[in-house]
Structure 1
Amino acid sequence: MTFRKLLGNLTFWVLTAITLGILTGHFFPQIALLKVMETPLKGRFFGQELSLGVTLSEFLSGIFISTVKLFINPIIFLTITLGIVSMGNLKKVGKVGAKALIYFEIVTTVALVIGIVIANIIRPGDGVVTRQVEGQGDISKFTKGAESFSWWKFFGDNVTLQVLLVAIVLGTVLGNYSGRQKIIEALTLISKYVFKGLHTVMMLAPIGAFGGMAYTIGKYGIHTLLPLGKLMVTVYLTMGCFVFGVLGLILRHYRISIWKFLKYIKEELLIVLGTSSSEAALPSVMEKLERMGCSKPVVGLVVPAGYSFNLDGTTIYLSMATIFLAQVFQVHLSWEQILTIIGILMVTSKGAAGVTGSGFVVLASTLTAVKVIPVEGLALLLGVDRFMSEARAITNIIGNGVATVWIANNEREFDREKMEKAFRST
């Protein structure tokens, strides 16, 4: 790669921004945590929750993530509606949706079991003394969130699911309209300009990655990783085993290399790494999956649904965190209790994307239901959770990409020639 091409490569700039963010947060935390306003800016815009932080780093990261969020729902709406109208087959839409939900349940259950097995083998909680762990804090907001959780609230707070439902209904209605060709042309034109706007915004990705990494390192510091370093290593190791083992085997079934797929979406993975948010790369991943050969209806149905129900990384983290806390407090879990934990997490983990506080609220719900592990143990994880959120978010977005590719192949809605062309371009 020539120097001129390197300067025009987004991956290079995101990697540079992440490195500078780590160095700034570690050596100049006063700059990373410099306050630019006293209270955070919050609000809703086009049905999308927006939040900008109070420190300089949070503000930079928040601007990028909040701007990208503005594109998520329009892209989901346009992709699904256009896909269903073009397909004109409601029965096939229902089949894809049902197959996706079955796939999600099977794969997340496998992720759950893997997390519990590896946590019991490596035992990261042994030897951890609770009073020596830094980063302890107030967990009341998470326990309150767990108490108020309901599936109706989950749907009400999850705008993505609402948009998904509206798009399916509208797409079905318009698909039976006699002049649907004009509708297809209009939606295609709108989609073109929406994605053009997204490409412009993605040029700000290095700024978002710098802000996110500088804030994380500046606030929590690398030293906070030491007391729970074994847990961190175990979580990252398990996520890696799941991606290259389970997800790799799923793709291999259709003769697709997991390495080539990861290389293809490397820019999105780096953005997620820098911002700790899978939302930041969601619209871009949807576009890349289409360019890779997955049909528009499959991408439109599987990715948004997977964002709520196929959280492989979050599922692994929740299972390992539960076993970790049991080991810290020396709570011996019988096989019956472990099976109960698996059963509870199979349900509660599906609400992780739609609840404020995400994983912590779901983890609090699980510990409360199990009733043998002190829920106060959540305070141990507060200081290192931000460092593990990158692994969760990256695994989640890879898992949803693999799910889309697998279902597209299974439904014969996949173009291998497009895939080969897309892989050669990386």
Structure 2
Amino acid sequence: MINILLFLGSYAGGIFYAILASPMFIFAVYQAVYFYNPQNRWWGSSVPNLPYSFIVVVVMGLLFLKSFGKFNQNRLFQIPQFRWMYVLLLLYGIASFYAVLPIGHNQALVFYFKLMVIISIAFKMCESDKDLNIMMYGYIYGAWYISFMAMQKGRNGAGRVEGIGTVDSPDANGLAAAIAPSVVLCLYYFWTASNNKIRLLIAIAGAFIANGIVLINSRGAFLAVALSCGLFMWHMYFSSFQRKYQKAAAVVITLAGLTGAAVIVDKAFIERIYTMTTQSTENVDQESGATRFIFWQSAWEMTKDYPFGNGFQGFNVFAPMYIPEGVDTGESRKRSVHSTWFETLTEIGYVGLFALIMMLYACYRTSNITKRALKERVDVDNYFKVIALQCALLAFVVAMTFMNRMRAEILYWCVLFIACAYNIYVVRYTANQEKASVVKK
């Protein structure tokens, strides 16, 4: 019953707030539907059988059109990472003409196109720091819920949590990657919360998410969280840009985090992490661990023969021709490449991989420009918000290195967050300053 009430309350309440308070709440509802995924939940039959995500997108489109003149001030092509994002979409569309799995590729292309449209509209509608916070809180809320589901479901006989994934992240590793970036955002909001009630809610959400990652037992997600949170705390302690008691807060948060980790980490999780440095004897671990580098080498060799890629799951189709005969791949030799970098390479070729790298580099560059601007304005909280967003994107990049996530929702949410921060704190701020200067003259 609690799942049904949470979903219906979030859905109806979010749309209500989007219409009467801030249109940006509609994207938070979209995020919630992504994580709730009612059609694939055990409680899904207890709610009306409606296309919930489609309804949200329609409402989003109507809200956008209602205030088109205002929202259209946000220029998509002023944002470097968006230009590269559209190049990726274009290359994926071109690959339709030679994809080895044309039906599967076209389905993936339609999903990818819809995602690009939604991300673009969300960017257009994000006008202020408040709007950006709504999106980030929406992500944390969704990550909290799926972690709550992980606790309800519990581990299976293999020590993993399966069967609670999202539409584009149905397996355990993909789900863990989807929530990993939210941990560092929880750290940021816990530190900068304006009151103790918000701080308590963020602490609860962060604890559930961390516990969810432990339960899911994903090595890639563990690395993602460790690196992103470690980098954020390093900036928080060693940065020359400080707010009052910042170093003390960094020490307290670090100690609290380590204490919490000691409480929730169990033997199964420790053993799972230990396999990152050892050879496993289980077939499933051989595929995801010991043989992964061989898959990557095979993907590189494949791309020499197919420099423009082979479309959706191009590696899976031709893998038997490139994976050495002596490699144990289990029941089938048609295996996934287990890396977004090589997934992109084998699906849309060298140019596609270059576009992906440039999209991520543009995020890095624009976020650094944003940090410099905020530092000049002595805006400490938003300066560290941008650092948190950098660390969140880093978390997903680390996780996606070990799985196929080129078209993952969360990757483009992270790109969206950084794009909005750059637009709000640099592009729009500069434009407003120039207008004010003209008025004074």
Greater RCO, CA 8 A, separation 6+: 1
